[in-house]
Amino acid sequence: MEIKSKKLVTLDEYIIQSQNKFPGATGELSQLLRDIGLAAKIISREVNKAGITNILGVHGSTNVHGESVKRLDIFADQQLISALDRSLITCMVISEENDGIVRLNSEGGKYIVYLDPLDGSSNIDVNVSVGSIFSIYMRQPRYDQNLVEEDSLQPGSRQVAAGYVLYGSSTILAYTTGLGVSCFTLDPSIGEFVLSNSGFKIPEKGTIYSINEGSYNSWSQGLKKYIKYCQEDDPETGRPYTARYIGSMVADIHRTLVKGGIFIYPSSSRYPNGKLRLMYECNPLSFIMEQAGGTAIDGKNRIMDIRPEAIHQRVPIYIGSPENVKMARSFLEKYEEETVG
């Protein structure tokens, strides 16, 4: 009996095939995605051998948010920015590791890229999954061509592409250009990202909730009531739900996409505006989630409709399967939004 092997489609091949569907496409966005893919391979290599290359541990500095910076944070930031700079089609980068905008060598480039170079880096030293997040915008035309921070302050609905890379038991890259979500797995034997799932879809409803329950006392009454609802025993609705929280947003969101459910990082008495960053965490992952059939809100409104006021702006987020997010919103609306603590 002859066994026919499945043809492998690499990330580069898939990007080119997708580009060919659009007459007149210049290939610049395709090049940008390939540049990010190359940087992701280099970061994946270093993450996998971090323990033997002296790249673990704290760098000794803090980022704009006052958070301790890991050595791998710096390495990932440098690799991604360097990759984007080489092709001369990106004019500026905004990264979690940098205070303001980073001007690249081509100020005439048409793309603006937001980066979280290594999300969940507090997990690095204990060998838990981490990830990279990217969000791509078109630069808005102006008569004055000088680059300013305001050029980058666009709502998430204007993203032309977004994605993440998960460095876990395998390295996975998922991205969207607004035509669904495609996932690729890095095959170390050939050094290429290989298509593993196109047209990725999240279940309409899931039985997993993901939240840091150590902050329970600082939540709103509506959120407390919703979490208690998730924990109640009701076999007809699949409850109690299972609690899963990794502490790396990319890993938590990837699990939510695969299995369904909801991921929550709310506002609290400690973080009244939420803790996660709108532009390089919530917007790109919301774009991915919506393209996979999911929902992402700040508790009331769609995340990608928020008009940003600052590049490092924070927001609360409720993201995941449509039915789960809808139920969470109903509890938030039913009970007062006052926090305790």
Binding residues for Mg(2+): 96, 116, 118-119, 281
Q: Quick check: 157 and 284 in contact, CB under 8 A?
A: no
Helices (H), 139-248: 221-231
Length of the chain: 341
Q: Report the binding-site residues for substrate.
A: 119-122, 212, 245, 275
Sign of CA dihedral 68, 111, 317, 264: negative
Q: Report the binding-site residues.
A: 96, 116, 118-122, 212, 245, 275, 281
Please, which residues have CB within 8 angstroms of residue 11's CB and are 6 or more apart in sequence? 33, 34, 37, 173, 184, 192, 193, 194, 195
- Indicate the pairing of strand 58-62 with strand 68-70: antiparallel
Bridge partner residues of 58 (DSSP): 70
Beta strand ranges found along 177-217 (DSSP E): 181-187, 192-198, 208-210
Burial 24-54 (b: 16+ CB within 10 A, else e): eeeebbbbbbbbbbbbbbbbbbbbeebeeee
- Indicate the pairing of strand 262-265 with strand 242-243: unpaired
